[in-house]
Amino acid sequence: MTTDSNVKEFIEEIKLRVFDDQFIDREEERELLQIAIQKGLGVDKGLAFIRQVAAEKGIVVEREANDRVKEILERFAANDGVVDKKEFEDALALYKSATKGKIPDPEMKRRLKQLMVDQGWKAKEGGLFGSKWFSAIS
């Protein structure tokens, strides 16, 4: 049963979780959704409240930042399935901006590389003066 007090408590829980870092990572989002279920709000309403609070307070939701950067890489790879170094760096800059620097650069690069591998997109590297920039990401 959803009550106004349950909604208010859930919103306050969201605010408390992001009090220090203004960032909701995947684990925190999952925990918040479990709380929403316990309060009778359900997953969909829980997500809606998380998005609402994030928009109002300028909070970063990691999953949404990941979705945005995936869309950008998808556009870059749309023509030939290949992402070049500049496009990768542009996506990285967008990701860094979207996460407000809460994820370290090496971790962001790993995530973007994994996303490209999972989607079957190739990296354009090498060439006459090129480097193995993509292969170097560990």
Q: Tell me, yes or no, whether 137 lies in a domain.
A: no
- Percent of the chain surpassing pLDDT 70: 96
Contact status, residue 77 vs residue 34, Cβ threshold 8 Å? no
Q: Check pLDDT > 90 for residue 138.
A: no
Residue-wise pLDDT for 10-40, tens only, equals 999 999 998 888 999 999 999 999 999 999 9
pLDDT score of 80: 87
Burial bucket for residue 82 (CB in 10 Å: 0-12, 13-18, 19+) = middle
Q: Tell me, yes or no, whether 131 lies in a domain.
A: no
- Print the domain residue range for 21: 4-58
pLDDT score of 51: 94
Pair (66, 51) in one structural domain: no
Q: Tell me, yes or no, whether 53 lies in a domain.
A: yes
Residues in the chain: 138
Report the C-alpha gap between 123 and 51 in whole angstroms: 33
Contact status, residue 23 vs residue 99, Cβ threshold 8 Å? yes
Beta bridge partners of 61: 24
State mean pLDDT over 76-101. Answer: 92
In the chain, the number of structural domains is 2
Per DSSP, the three-state class of 61 is strand
Report the C-alpha gap between 29 and 9 in whole angstroms: 16
pLDDT score of 90: 95
Report the C-alpha gap between 8 and 21 in whole angstroms: 21
Per DSSP, the three-state class of 129 is coil
Q: Tell me, yes or no, whether 115 lies in a domain.
A: yes
Q: Tell me, yes or no, whether 66 lies in a domain.
A: yes
Burial bucket for residue 16 (CB in 10 Å: 0-12, 13-18, 19+) = exposed
pLDDT score of 132: 85
Report the C-alpha gap between 65 and 120 in whole angstroms: 20
Q: Which amino acid is at 53?
A: V
Pair (67, 107) in one structural domain: yes
